[in-house]
Structure 1
């Protein structure tokens, strides 16, 4: 069984350098609904039997571009939600909101709608749902931060492949079981 992990194509959306917490919330909503910029994609020599995709539009558009067949969309593959860690009207660098939100996720702070344990539960639920697909080659299109938890769980289940810390958009990462 081959498993191909793909981070969606790059999102076509401008990021302001400084944002209030309300600006950041709005930015997340707009980012989630933005179009993608397709890149040249190398599918490899493997015949992919099935494609599972996050149900967010950027992942669906990527899936439709790289896979010609039925795409099974699921919210289990969605990106880990991110929110500001506090409310303020002060404009703070965008990168602060991103980094602090991910630290808050890791330390299971209440500012985040999903914490690390929730994400791990979602990953396990998805992997349990595809365990009967062992005779198929599966393509999974999802999101960068989510992929970190997904690949750790794949490896704990005996799947081999390179560990990718910062997955590139529109790139295939191959795993085998």
Structure 2
């Protein structure tokens, strides 16, 4: 079995350098519903992809429809790890602050986050367990950058090998083989 992981195309969504906690929450909603900017995509020619799974978020679906011609199976299990501000304030703080603190809060199981690292690991495992029945197929998966870190770790734990990517590029295919 080959698994191809693809991070969705770049999202067409502007961001302010400084924002309040409410601004950040609104920006996350806007980002989740924004269109994508397509880039040149190189499919590995020597692999016939039998199945394509995609996160059910718009940016992943649009990417999947561009790169795969066939049925695309959407799954909530492939969604990006949700981000929320860790506290409420009208003070405008850097956008990067909100992103970093929400990811740290995710690791630390902070109550401000809808999902913890353990929850994300469970989601990844639930998805991979659900595709075990396709062990003779080559599966293309379109998902999200931060989510891909947990996904890659689980693939390696299950005996797959492929390049470990710390910063997955938008619209790029990463191959994992068992």
Scaled by the length of structure 2, the TM-score of the pair is: 0.99
Alignment match, 1:27:
27
CA distance in 2, matches of 1:84, 1:120: 21
How far residue 29 of structure 1 moved from its aligned partner, in angstroms, is: 0.2
CA distance in 2, matches of 1:89, 1:139: 42
CA distance in 1, matches of 2:63, 2:138: 18
Alignment match, 1:80:
81
How far residue 17 of structure 1 moved from its aligned partner, in angstroms, is: 0.2
How far residue 112 of structure 1 moved from its aligned partner, in angstroms, is: 0.3
Alignment match, 1:123:
124
Number of aligned residue pairs: give it: 177
User: Could you say what the CA RMSD is over the residues aligned between the two structures, in angstroms?
Assistant: 0.4
How far residue 132 of structure 1 moved from its aligned partner, in angstroms, is: 1.1
Superposed counterparts of 1:44-123, under 5 Å = 44-45=44-45, 46-123=47-124
Alignment match, 1:154:
155
Alignment match, 1:2:
2
CA distance in 1, matches of 2:2, 2:157: 16
CA distance in 2, matches of 1:162, 1:66: 21
CA distance in 1, matches of 2:49, 2:16: 39
1:40 aligned onto 2:46: no
For 1:52, what is the secondary structure of its paired residue?
strand
- Runs of 4+, deviation exceeding 6 Å: none
Give structure 2 stretches of 5+ with no counterpart: none
